Amino acid sequence: MSTSTTTQALHIVCERDVGLFNLFLGIIAHIHWARSEGRIPVAYLGQYCCYWTPLGYRGSDSVWEYYFEPLVPEYPAAAFPLMSANGLPTILT
């Protein structure tokens, strides 16, 4: 008996310093692309976004989750500690 496991690649959308509606529209486009490629979309809008606050908001550190639910409930932004100690994005391998 063989067991096959498949893993889906993540598509992590990071911040841009633009208006909230522009962020919203950009995330929508990324969701469509990620799903068409068989990837899991994750919105991680952190400290380089003008809406980010160091204390977080509503229990989240991702600007997307200040206002909206995670794109995929099983993959909230908090599950992916993308920032290194120096505050720069790290690469997931």
Tens digits of per-residue pLDDT, 47-73?
A: 888 898 989 899 888 999 999 999 999
pTM of the model: 0.75
| pLDDT(15) > 80 | yes
Using CB atoms within 10 A of its CB, is residue 21 exposed (0-12), middle (13-18) or buried (19+)? Answer: exposed
Mean of pLDDT over the chain: 82
Structure tokens at 14: 């990071």
User: How far apart, in whole angstroms, are the C-alpha atoms of residue 78 and residue 59?
Assistant: 10
Tokens 């310093």 correspond to: 17
Mean pLDDT of 24-42: 95
- What are the sequence ranges of the domains in the chain? 10-79
pLDDT of residue 67: 93
